[in-house]
Structure 1
Amino acid sequence: MKITFTFLVLVFSLGLSAQDYEQESLDYRKNLSAEYKSGENNVLTAKERKTFGYLNFYDFDPEFVVEARFEKINNTEEVKLATSTSRIASYVKYGYLHFTLKGKKCKLLVLSSPSLKDDPEYYNYLSVFFTDMTNDKGSYVVGRYMELRSPLSEKVVLNFNNTYNPYCAYNNRFSCPIPSAENYLPLEITAGVKKGFKSFRKF
């Protein structure tokens, strides 16, 4: 699934203030909503776009901006992921992100896509698919996504306020990877995108 880079921006800068991160997240959700409203990503129907206001998000929470330690995986182990359809998605393990969130030690697997290696625009995209305790409550049942670009430095700032839903959250004709069990975070990530969208505009 290719997504324009407006969708994918995470904050990599270290040392920004909470106000800076909040503004970046505000810009992120505006741009993300605009992608759906314009029809550029071809996810919503024309009828849905007429009433679409904005994507549903949790309020910005600076606690969900964390610094992670990146651990590179030097082999090219393949990972097969089930999807929201019968398709099986193939990825390669790229590394792990280690961090502490709300007092819990967490680890997320970062994946690269072999299908994008020859794409001039998307060749260095990295995917982080995760689930948490909000799934099927406040957030989409399948899970949420974050995107990075290689190469990653030893320290990476993860802004969970800037997550996004796979396209299948809004249209079941799309086939979306289901996060692996090891990318389950045993806490409520009450930040970032929720399920659904609003029919009026408010940011």
Structure 2
Amino acid sequence: MKPYLVFLLLLLPIFSFSQKNVTAKTILKQEAKEIKEIKKFQKELNEEYLNPKETPLRGDNFTHFKKHPFFPVDLKYRVKAKFVKTENPVPFDFPTSSGKTKSYQEFGKATFELDGKPYTLTVYQSLDLMKMEKYKDHLFLPFRDATNGKETYGGGKYLDLKIPAGDSIILDFNQSYHPYCAYNAYDYNCPIVPEENKLPVEIRAGVMYQDIYHH
């Protein structure tokens, strides 16, 4: 065997190890960035509920509030979903907890895998918010899962999204939260999660629920 071939063969394991090391570092860096985003969401949500001008909490619920309980951050629940935009959506009246309705339209379907099984959720767009510059790219994902009524609010949870540029969208359930009605059903009317967005699995991510809230 020629000397330069022997040299190349000796280098292969080193090169392979180096590539794996770089890949591992890249993954860890990306995960650290994602966890930082989740922690930022948690901090901002707590600040909102501690702010008397923004909080939905009233009376003793506000007085006793310190911070939200959250499930431990788990990137398993941050999934990349295939996104199919709904063509020619028809506006409809979204039923709410107060019996009134809000104007929405279906924006698309997000299909993802969790523990090897596929699930699809419908994503919506508020006709009122889309007229506002600040929220013109805002999407709304209400969902229910097997934790509702136990560790999370019985009526389900919400996830805020932005219009994706391509045919995929990130669903980070670590940033899911309860509707205001979970804490104050008297002053708010919240969209009711449609049956098609009920997941038969536990989504152990995002905000948990406490029994101190009287609704």
Name the TM tier (shorter chain): 0.7 to 0.9
Runs (4+) off by over 6 Å = none
Which residue, 78, 82, 85 being the options, matches 1:69? 82
The CA distance in 1 between the partners of 2:99 and 2:28, in whole Å, is 43
CA apart distance, 1:107: 0.6
Matching of residue 191 in structure 1 with residue 205 in structure 2: yes
Identical counterparts, % of pairs: 33
SS at match of 2:128: helix
| Alignment map for 1:1-80 (pairs within 5 Å) | 17-45=30-58, 47-80=60-93
Q: What's the CA shift string for 1:116-145, capped at 9, x where partnerless?
A: 232222222110000011111111111100
The CA distance in 2 between the partners of 1:150 and 1:67, in whole Å, is 14
The CA distance in 2 between the partners of 1:143 and 1:30, in whole Å, is 21
Q: Which amino acid aligns with 1:49?
A: F
Name the counterpart of 1:138: 151
The CA distance in 1 between the partners of 2:59 and 2:94, in whole Å, is 31
Q: Which amino acid aligns with 1:19?
A: A
Structure 2 portions without partners, runs of 5+: 1-26
Q: Which amino acid aligns with 1:195?
A: Y
The CA distance in 2 between the partners of 1:26 and 1:91, in whole Å, is 30
Which residue, 161, 174, 179 being the options, matches 1:161? 174
The CA distance in 2 between the partners of 1:106 and 1:191, in whole Å, is 17
CA apart distance, 1:183: 0.6
8 Å CA contact 1:81, 1:179 repeated in 2? no
CA apart distance, 1:16: 6.2
Q: Which has the higher contact order (CA 8 A, sep 6+)?
A: 1
8 Å CA contact 1:53, 1:197 repeated in 2? no
The CA distance in 1 between the partners of 2:132 and 2:36, in whole Å, is 31
User: What RMSD, in angstroms, separates the aligned Cα atoms of the two structures?
Assistant: 2.2
SS at match of 2:54: coil
Q: Larger strand proportion, structure 1 or 2?
A: 1
Which residue, 128, 131, 141 being the options, matches 1:128? 141
| Alignment map for 1:74-153 (pairs within 5 Å) | 74-153=87-166
SS at match of 2:203: coil
